[in-house]
Amino acid sequence: MVDVIDTKRNGGELTTEQIEFFINGYTKGDIPDYQVSALLMAIYLKGMTKQETATMTMTMLHSGDQLDLSEIPGVKVDKHSTGGVGDKTSIPLAPLVASVGIPVPMISGRGLGHTGGTLDKLEAIPGLKVEISEASFKQQLRDVGCAIVGATGNIAPADKKIYALRDVTDTVDSIPLIAGSIMSKKIASGTDALVLDVKTGSGAFMKTEADSVALAKELVGIGKSVGMNAMAVISDMNQPLGNAIGNALEIEESIALLKGNGPADLLDLVLTIGSQMVVMANKATDLDAARKMLQQHIDDGSALTKFKEMIIAQGGDGRVIENPTMMPQATYQMPILAARDGVITKMKADEMGIAAMMLGGGRQKKDDQLDYAVGLTLSKKVGDEVHQGDTILTIHSNREDVSDVQQLIEANISIGDEAQPLTLIHEVID
């Protein structure tokens, strides 16, 4: 193992044997955390060639089982985000796309650092289970058409171990390590097609457009190399997505979106990614037709009905659709007010995510219990005009003193005379 670390530390290229040695040895428990930590940091600093990244991904994939979804009819299409703040896109998207007859086998993750996790958000719905057996997952895909679940026991076990180590060794935001982590799970999940939502900006792991494009190309390239129809959308994460940050609050916003009352940016992203999924599944010939089809399924209520069916199939209480307040609600609501007249020029997504985490909505340590009720709801976003005393956002908390959170938020929101408008969809990588 010292030789492997030495090769990478000196900027060399790891051989297939070296990659298989460390991935398989670490998964089996033969190599200690401290040596893999050193190697991860060397990879972080020196990078990997495309060949090394591909070999690492395939070795991680083969560290566990692969789902075979060939018995489910139709082109199966999944979506994966690289992680953001207020990013609840997957939650309304899966039932929306399933409502037009496309099977959506979605394997999602939990929150990481300042970013929220789809599985954590769904668990705010009373009774809903995200850990289900492979047989139930397939049955639900047949009966309902979509499922959002955690990776079952033996999907890419190498990623589970390496991911946990990256989280505590500050090696998350590395292009080859993210690419290996995401694509080993996605290839193992048996999907035919995949849309990747690669976030860019302050709240994303990739802060610059160039790094986000490089990551997107890496992800799409690995997908295509195994015959998966993959493409990526680069979307903005300089400010939170939508108006809600926090587990139950984001479910409430997802329900509102499927009722036709969602925030414009979230709706735009859901329809942009959704149209790509519809075209990949051959249910429409062009993106415009696909977008109209999806909007129609929001307008006629069929996407909302599909969401309710999915919730019930996963053991959740479907009445949440009519009555979102049956999810945990915070005791205290505290507004953050505009200190002057002007326009919002900055609302840093990463710091808003940290604020929600400090309230108990995210984990600071691996086994922290989440408070589903807490978070932030935004009344203003970048570019919006404000008058002194207007509410910019509301803190939802179960503790009365939130001065620490308030300070952090106030330090990361700016009001000026003119705002540079933020573009939501930066690029599409095919």
Closer residue to ligand URA, CB minimum distance, 214 or 289: 214
Q: Which is nearer to ligand URA, 109 or 316 (CB)?
A: 109
- The C-alpha atoms of residue 374 and residue 10 are separated, in whole angstroms, by 46
Q: In the bound complex, what is the minimum distance in angstroms from residue 173's beta carbon to ligand URA?
A: 8
User: What is the crossing angle of helices 157-169 and 33-46, to 10°?
Assistant: 80
Least Cβ distance, residue 109 to ligand URA (angstroms):
5
Q: Are strands 413-416 and 385-386 parallel, antiparallel or unpaired?
A: unpaired
Q: Which is nearer to ligand URA, 119 or 354 (CB)?
A: 119
**Among the options 8, 76, 80, 110, which is catalytic?**
80
The neighbouring-strand residues paired with 386 are: 342
**Shortest separation between residue 108's beta carbon and ligand URA, angstroms:** 9
Range 166-205, binding ligand URA (CB under 6 A): 178, 181-182
Q: Residue 66 Cβ, how far from ligand URA at the closest point, in Å?
A: 17
Closest residue to ligand URA in the complex (CB): 181
Query: Per rule CB under 6 A, is residue 223 in the interface with ligand URA?
Result: no
Q: Which is nearer to ligand URA, 89 or 397 (CB)?
A: 89
Residue 203: half-sphere exposure toward Cβ, Cα within 13 Å:
30
CB of 144 to ligand URA, least distance (A): 24
426 included as an active-site residue? no
Instruction: Please answer whether residues 274 and 97 qualify as being in contact, where contact means their C-beta atoms are separated by less than 8 angstroms.
Output: yes
CB-CB contact of 244 with 116 (8 Å): no
CA torsion, ordered 55, 206, 67, 48, to nearest 10 deg? 0
Query: Which are the contacts of 157, defined by CB distance < 8 A and separation ≥ 6?
Result: 27, 63, 64
Pairwise CA distance, residues 118 & 128, whole Å: 13
Closest to ligand URA by CB, 178 or 352: 178
Give the shortest CB-285-to-ligand URA separation in angstroms. 32
Q: Which letter, b or e, does each residue of 89-102 get, where b requires 16 or more Cβ atoms within 10 Å of its Cβ?
A: bbbbbbbbbbbbeb
Distance of closest approach, residue 64 Cβ to ligand URA, in angstroms: 15
Is residue 166 among the annotated active site residues? yes
Cα 237–207–166 angle (5° rounding)? 105
Q: Are 356 and 402 in contact (CB under 8 A)?
A: no
Draw the binding track, 63-82, toward ligand URA (x: CB under 6 A; -: no contact).
Answer: -------------------x
Instruction: Choose between 99 and 184: whose C-beta lies nearer to ligand URA.
Output: 184
Instruction: Name the burial class of residue 221, with classes exposed (0-12), middle (13-18) and buried (19+) by CB atoms within 10 angstroms of its CB.
Output: middle
The residue to which tokens 């993959």 are assigned = 230
Pick the catalytic residue from 121, 185, 306, 308.
185
How many residues at the interface with ligand URA, by CB under 6 A? 6
Query: Between 63 and 181, whose beta carbon lies closer to ligand URA?
Result: 181
CB-wise, 178 or 338, nearer to ligand URA?
178
Using CA atoms, how far apart are residues 400 and 421, in angstroms rounded to an integer? 35
Under DSSP, the state recorded for 358 is I
Residue reference for tokens 């219990």: 369
| Closest distance to ligand URA from the beta carbon of 362 (Å) | 14
The separation between the first and the last C-alpha atoms of the chain, rounded to the nearest angstrom, is 38
> Residue from 64, 83, 86, 105 that binds ligand URA (CB under 6 A)?
83
Q: Please state, as a whole number, how many other Cβ atoms lie within 10 Å of the Cβ of residue 391.
A: 14
Catalytic residue among 166, 306, 308, 396: 166
Given 99, 181, 189, 397, the catalytic residue: 181
Catalytic one of 78, 87, 120, 159: 159
Is 181 noted as a catalytic residue in this protein?
A: yes
**Catalytic site includes residue 80:** yes
The total number of residues written for the chain in this structure? 430
Query: Going residue by residue from 21 to 60, which x/- string records binding to ligand URA, judged by CB under 6 A?
Result: ----------------------------------------
CA gap 271, 259 in Å, rounded? 14
Which one of residues 84, 103, 105, 109 is an interface residue with ligand URA (CB under 6 A)? Answer: 109
Q: Which residue in 36, 31, 61 sits closest to 151, CA to CA?
A: 61
For the record, the structure tokens of 401 come out as 């003193």
Q: Has 185 been annotated as catalytic?
A: yes
State which residue, 160 or 348, has the beta carbon closest to ligand URA. Answer: 160
Smallest distance from the beta carbon of 174 to ligand URA, in angstroms? 8
Q: Which residues are catalytic?
A: 80, 159, 166, 181, 185
Please give the residue ranges that form the binding site for ligand URA (CB under 6 A).
82-83, 109, 178, 181-182
